[in-house]
């Protein structure tokens, strides 16, 4: 086993929810990810759609128990000294485990494997080439202990929806609640108390909101002493507005996101991928009769780097928008002419 040390850290991460084509949806989850040598551990695990057990929406007692387990203050929850490293974001079932052990003052993580049962088949399901990682004990314990001392990144998973088209906002609020994001509707921000405004993670202005509404929202949040992302709705299309909201709520550091750029024009889309991952591109088109047309235009695994994906002209003609999803990242752009 290598005697070289890897650095250990923690960082806020998001598994973005959203409404998918065909009526399916995925739940929004905020969690704390493990950062090894400056890179999220999740990015090393073959495009695994999962969250760590350090999720902000679990009860405090469960969160504390998970931290103490990783600190090796309790016995391993799985046979052969294995610990839960990542779980399914929808049902929290086991998705990836590893052996965590002490070696003197050091802590070692090894034998990473995809597993849905207590026992892992390392030959068949092991993440070969990932680890082992040797961490300095002081660094490792300090990072995790900070979570027990109030160092959990706070997640504000409520958003304020503002606009004149109440029916559209009501459908948007229902969709956001379906994927785990609280949403409140107001005609404007003037009547909302400063205490309430501080509880929101983003403010979404419907497509019908004018310049005056935007100025009023900015004044209200400034007076409340809070700076939150503002989403200017691109079109009255609920899945598109959900995707915009998810993008605004992503609090992970830019350098720790799977997608960092997205542009689109008639001929194709250009995007940058930071780690090998599955990317899905969905086009939303609004026709002259204000009807929405949805079409999945790409679904495949891309390697790190910049990529150009050809777009069917029929899928993006007229007023059209593109949503890219990869792991916990969502990006939205208008298709330029």
* Per-residue pLDDT tens digits for 52-104: 988 877 777 788 889 999 999 988 888 989 998 998 888 767 778 899 999 99
- Is 149's pLDDT higher than 80? no
**CA pair distance 319, 323, nearest whole angstrom:** 14
Q: pLDDT category, 154, cuts 50, 70, 90?
A: low
Give me the pLDDT at residue 1, please.
Answer: 47
Per-residue pLDDT, averaged over 123-144, amounts to 91
In SS3 terms, 38-107 reads as CEEHHHHCCCCCCECCCECCCCHHHHHHHHHHHCCCCCCCEHHHEEEEEECCCCCCEEEEEEEEEECCEE
- Is 266's pLDDT higher than 90? no
Q: pLDDT category, 307, cuts 50, 70, 90?
A: very high
- Is 219's pLDDT higher than 90? no
For tokens 């969709």, name the residue: 175
The residues, ordered by sequence, that sit 6+ positions from 193 with a Cβ below 8 Å of its Cβ are: none
The residues, ordered by sequence, that sit 6+ positions from 291 with a Cβ below 8 Å of its Cβ are: none
Per-residue pLDDT, averaged over 233-257, amounts to 89
Per-residue pLDDT, averaged over 158-164, amounts to 86
Q: pLDDT category, 5, cuts 50, 70, 90?
A: very high
Q: What mean pLDDT is reported for the chain?
A: 87
- Regarding predicted confidence, which is higher, 332 or 20? 332
pTM: 0.79
Which range among 89-93, 170-174, 181-185 shows the weakest confidence by mean pLDDT?
Answer: 89-93
Per-residue pLDDT, averaged over 207-222, amounts to 83
71 burial (CB, 10 Å; 0-12 / 13-18 / 19+) is middle
Q: Which bin fits 310, alpha (ψ -120 to 50), beta or left (φ > 0)?
A: beta
């Amino acid at each position: 086993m290598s005697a070289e040390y890897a650095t250990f850290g923690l960082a806020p991460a998001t598994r973005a929810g959203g409404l998918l084509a065909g009526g399916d949806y995925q739940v929004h989850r905020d969690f704390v990810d493990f950062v090894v040598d400056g890179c999220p551990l999740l990015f090393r695990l073959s495009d695994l759609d999962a969250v760590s057990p350090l999720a902000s929406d679990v009860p405090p007692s469960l969160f504390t128990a998970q931290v103490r387990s990783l600190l090796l203050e309790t016995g391993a929850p799985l046979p052969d000294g294995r610990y839960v490293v990542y779980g399914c974001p929808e049902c929290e079932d086991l998705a990836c485990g590893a052996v965590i052990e002490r070696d003197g003052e050091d802590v070692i993580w090894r034998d990473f494997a995809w597993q849905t049962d207590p026992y892992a088949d390392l030959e068949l399901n092991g993440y070969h080439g990932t680890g082992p990682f040797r961490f300095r004990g002081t660094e490792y314990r300090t990072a995790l202990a900070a979570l027990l001392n109030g160092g959990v990144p706070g997640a504000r998973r409520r958003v304020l929806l503002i606009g004149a088209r109440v029916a559209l906002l009501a459908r948007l609020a229902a969709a956001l609640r379906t994927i785990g994001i609280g949403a409140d509707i107001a005609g404007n921000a003037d009547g909302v108390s400063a205490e309430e405004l501080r509880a929101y993670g983003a403010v979404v202005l419907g497509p019908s909101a004018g310049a005056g509404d935007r100025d009023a929202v900015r004044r209200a949040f400034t007076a409340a002493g809070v700076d939150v992302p503002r989403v200017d709705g691109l079109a009255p299309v609920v899945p598109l507005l959900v995707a915009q909201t998810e993008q605004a709520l992503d609090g992970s550091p830019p350098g720790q996101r799977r997608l960092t750029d997205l542009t689109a024009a008639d001929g194709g889309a250009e995007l940058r991928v930071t780690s090998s991952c599955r990317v899905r591109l969905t086009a939303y088109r609004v026709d002259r009769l204000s009807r929405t047309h949805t079409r999945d235009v790409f679904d495949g695994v891309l390697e790190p780097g910049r990529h150009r994906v050809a777009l069917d002209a029929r899928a993006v003609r007229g007023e059209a928008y593109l949503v890219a999803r990869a792991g916990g990242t969502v990006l939205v752009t208008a298709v330029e002419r």
